[in-house]
Amino acid sequence: MEQVQNAGCDYLDISGEPEFMERAEAAHHERAAESGALVVSACGFDSVPAELGMMFNSLQWVGPAVPNSVEAYVELESEKRIVGNFATYESAVLGVANGRKLQELRKTRPRRPRPVILGPSLSQGETIESQKKLGLWAVRLPSADLTVVRRTLAILTKNPHGLPGLNESAETFTKRETFWSSIKPAHFGVRICSKSLLGILRIIMVGVFIGLLGGVGFGKWLLLKFPLIFSLGFFRKKGPTEEEVESASFKIWFVGHGFSDESIASQGNIKPNMEIITRVMGPEGGYQATSIILIQCALTVLCQRNNHPKGGIIHDNSTTYNIIPHGNEQAPPHHEM
């Protein structure tokens, strides 16, 4: 990172670890901004689909309607069996192990501006949710997607027309202002899903193992030494086979709740009266989707560098704006009131 900023070289990665992203920003943002090095993390399955999906759902709320919350329901599918890469599992374990360091870091950083969101706060809900409309069981997922989306909303609170490009044209300037001013802030949450209750209980058990053992040295060693055991078969050191990768895919459902009229939301603690459901879908996330997303992000930086900020450490919100016109595959939005 230090060599990148000193050289003024643009840099993209697929890191999805909040501590790494926030520590890099704290240590290197100012120097990168001065040298013109554009550093973008989370350019993979973490966290482009979540942020694109959040923005796509937001765009469906046409005035006077306004969103209050958007929750992402992540569904992983496979014709064979779902097997993740060891690095994903390792990141989750290290995320728990370094949780205290992240909290200490955040205490030393300036508080980000918070967007004004009309209506009640996002309810934690039940530990296990039965999402009947989607036919899924779900449980909350601590995810880098939360960090990235909330950071984007904080940036938009301070820069409601988005971050200006290095040398953008008048046409791009107008498009940028139009697009970002159309994004309406909302509370955001992420849930991991399964079609069966047994499947969601299995996911919860993996979370319990990581949560209990990841915070102590010996427990972390056990988790990383025996991933197949403690992940209940979800992860193994050699990763999935080619056949398992080819048979896998993902869907992320974005369930938005809000108000049919902004004036209703301003009346007080009134429950949302409108729902909009959208979906982002794609191939296997860890290998196929991440490769495609990273290349798309790199191409937008290479081909449209003048439309991006001069430099600095950001997350994927700068690149996703430029991906949208290039055909992000999404299902038609499903609207319900």
Averaged pLDDT score across all residues of the chain: 89
Q: Are 117 and 187 in contact (CB under 8 A)?
A: yes
pLDDT, average across residues 252-279: 91
pLDDT value at residue 337: 37
pLDDT band at 320 (very low <50, low <70, confident <90, very high): low
Domain ranges across the chain: 2-336
pLDDT tens per residue, range 95-142:
888 888 889 999 999 888 999 998 888 887 788 999 999 999 999 998
pLDDT, average across residues 146-173: 91
DSSP-derived secondary structure for 5-22: HHHT--EE-----HHHHH
pLDDT tens per residue, range 225-234:
999 999 999 9
* Number of C-beta neighbours around residue 311 at 10 A: 22
Contacting residues for 267 by C-beta, under 8 A, at least 6 apart:
none
pLDDT value at residue 332: 40
| Res. 222: pLDDT tops 70 | yes
Q: Are 74 and 250 in contact (CB under 8 A)?
A: yes
pLDDT value at residue 267: 80
| Res. 318: pLDDT tops 70 | no
pLDDT band at 266 (very low <50, low <70, confident <90, very high): confident
pLDDT value at residue 335: 39
Q: Tell me the percentage of the chain whose pLDDT exceeds 70.
A: 93
Phi, psi torsion values for 200, nearest 5 degrees? -75, -35
- Global pTM? 0.91
Helices (H) and strands (E) in the chain, counts: 14, 10
